[in-house]
Amino acid sequence: MTNMIMRVEGARKAFGGLVAVNDVSFDLARGEILGLIGPNGSGKTTTMNLISGGLGMDRGRIELDGEVISGLPANRVARKGVARTFQLLRLIEDMTVTENVVVGMAFRPGQSWNAEMVAKSHDYLKIVGLEDKAGLDAAKLTYIDQKRLELARALAMEPKVLLLDEWLAGLNSTELLAGIEIIREISRLGTTIIMVEHVMSAIHSLCDRCVVMNAGAKIAEGTPGAVLTDPLVVEAYLGEPHHA
């Protein structure tokens, strides 16, 4: 068993003439939190969709634990061990909180269909702090609680790699602190995480490494402290100095 859990090699995706992801490569170490950052429209979410199989790649390959997962449809990628949250929440609103978590558990390989899933769902709800609201319909939850539920559902897949697409976006400062603690706890429990994020304080306190994208390409990679002071990265976020 190597220390590497995922490898993205030369990933490319174009929508018509627009190259959204252009020859992006990076490795993901087992147990780390990797930040995928960059300005709006730089191809972060598209990269997440390529990993999760939501979109097919034009070129390149993605390996998970030594197995090629690029080219597989999303449902097969999910069963190999990649779970995700969605930038715009995608809960089933007329299902209860518990049932939404069971969505994450029910279609894992080897999972049998039994009432123990309901009991087990409480473990995941506890991690995100939703155990008191198990019986409510998802529609009845506040925005932050719906975000927690998205996360609990993804955790319920017991994924090897968890993709968080701007999971902290839209939270107020108190909620943000709570959210950061939840992600830290998930990481401590052993899940490898890739997070697309704009909240710099969260990136600084959570991420072991960052990959920075701009206009579809990877422009920097390293610790948050190093990449966020890299002139190329600063330029991508703020524009070139002589244009400003």
Partner 1 sequence: MISRSPTPYVGILAVAGTLALLPLYASSYQLAFAIGLLNFAVLATAWGLFSGPTRYVSLASVVFFGIGSYTVAIVGEVMPWPAVLLVAALIGGAVALVVGLATLRLAGIYFVIFTFGLSEMVRQLVTWYEVNVTLSIGRYIFLDITQTQIFWQLLALLAIVMLGAVALQRSRLGFALRVIGGDETMARHFGLNPTFAKLALFVASSMIMALAGAIMAPRWTYIDPAIAFNITLSFQVVIMALLGGMHRIYGPMLGAILMTFLFEALSNHFPQAFSLMLGLVFIVIVYLLPNGIVGRLEEGLARTRRKPATASAKVGERT
Query: Which residues contribute to the site for partner 1 (CB under 8 A)?
Result: 52-54, 73-76, 78-79, 83-84, 86, 90, 92-96, 98-99, 102-104, 106-109, 113-115, 117-118, 134-137, 140, 153, 157
Output the smallest distance, CB 104 to partner 1, in A: 6
Pairing mode, if any, of strands 59-64 and 4-15? antiparallel
Q: Which is nearer to partner 1, 103 or 219 (CB)?
A: 103
Amino acid code (one letter) for 15: F
Task: Report the C-alpha gap between 67 and 74 in whole angstroms.
Answer: 15
Q: Which is nearer to partner 1, 103 or 180 (CB)?
A: 103
Output the smallest distance, CB 79 to partner 1, in A: 4
Q: Which is nearer to partner 1, 66 or 73 (CB)?
A: 73
Output the smallest distance, CB 101 to partner 1, in A: 11
**CB burial string 151-165: b at 16+ within 10 A, e below:** bbbbbbbbbbbbbbb
Output the smallest distance, CB 52 to partner 1, in A: 6
Output the smallest distance, CB 43 to partner 1, in A: 19
Tokens representing residue 75 in the block: 């449902």
Q: Which is nearer to partner 1, 22 or 70 (CB)?
A: 70
Phi, psi of 8 (to 5 degrees): -105, 125
Task: Report the C-alpha gap between 20 and 55 in whole angstroms.
Answer: 12
Q: Which is nearer to partner 1, 46 or 98 (CB)?
A: 98
Task: Report the C-alpha gap between 132 and 67 in whole angstroms.
Answer: 39
- Which residues have CB under 8 Å from 240's CB, separation 6+? none
To the nearest 10 degrees (0 to 180), the angle between helices 173-188 and 116-128 is 130
Tokens representing residue 201 in the block: 């304080």
Q: Which is nearer to partner 1, 9 or 137 (CB)?
A: 137
Task: Report the C-alpha gap between 126 and 120 in whole angstroms.
Answer: 10
Q: Residue 150, SS3? A: helix
